[in-house]
Structure 1
């Protein structure tokens, strides 16, 4: 499955996606790929900025780096899980931290998935499809 085969459209998508990564280039590239699938994407580069816009945007999917300025991704995820608007959102950790202890911290913070960079776009696409094709 790839971005040209229409898989997301077949699953009742697109979705509102919040992408939070302090790497501007990586965030821009991922945003463009997500938008080619029809998703509405907002990009933020730090935790406080992401949290400031969550209630207005109401993301259904949050792709979140762990190593962020201002507050780390674990802190952001814990905050998102306390808000009505994001308590059931799909939270995906997209990070360079791949140790078992990092995966456990992500789970404890409320992430649904923990993907280690570099990750293929197909892996992200699959996680989103799996979540929303069950709904």
Structure 2
């Protein structure tokens, strides 16, 4: 297996499409629709990379990133923000929330795979 990836997105179609693409490339992928489900997964699954939608219901992706950074079970996990907005303000906010990178939705397959390879190989 090339690596473990967690995708957190409340849009099931977008989440499943990304997961299917990554699974075709032999990545081990787990999915969650919100922050609570993502945190619960950490009890059994320690991803190397987490793709976090910013516009999650309840707690947003910025808050989830903060919780993951504070949780020892996610130590070393690379975090990538997924957002429909790519302005400098959003990129700066993602950096301030301790994300390692930022992707703009809809994410192209080449962009996603290049980023994943850069982050975890």
CA-based RMSD of the aligned residues comes to 1.3
How many Å separate the matches in 2 of 1:87 and 1:109?
15
**Residue 63 (structure 1) aligned to one of 44, 51, 57:** 51
Structure 1 unaligned regions, length at least 5? 1-12
Please give the TM-score of this superposition, normalised by the length of structure 1. Answer: 0.83
How many Å separate the matches in 2 of 1:27 and 1:34?
11
Change (3 A) 1:16 1:132: closer
Q: Which residue of 2 aligns with 1:88?
A: 76
> Which structure has the larger Rg?
1
How many Å separate the matches in 2 of 1:101 and 1:131?
23
Structure 2 unaligned regions, length at least 5? none
Please give the TM-score of this superposition, normalised by the length of structure 2. Answer: 0.92
How many Å separate the matches in 1 of 2:13 and 2:63?
23
Q: Which residue of 2 aligns with 1:4?
A: none
- Once the two structures are TM-superposed, the CA of residue 105 in structure 1 deviates from its matched residue by 1.2
- Once the two structures are TM-superposed, the CA of residue 131 in structure 1 deviates from its matched residue by 2.3
How many Å separate the matches in 2 of 1:114 and 1:124?
11
- Once the two structures are TM-superposed, the CA of residue 42 in structure 1 deviates from its matched residue by 0.8
- Once the two structures are TM-superposed, the CA of residue 29 in structure 1 deviates from its matched residue by 1.0
Query: How many residues get paired?
Result: 121
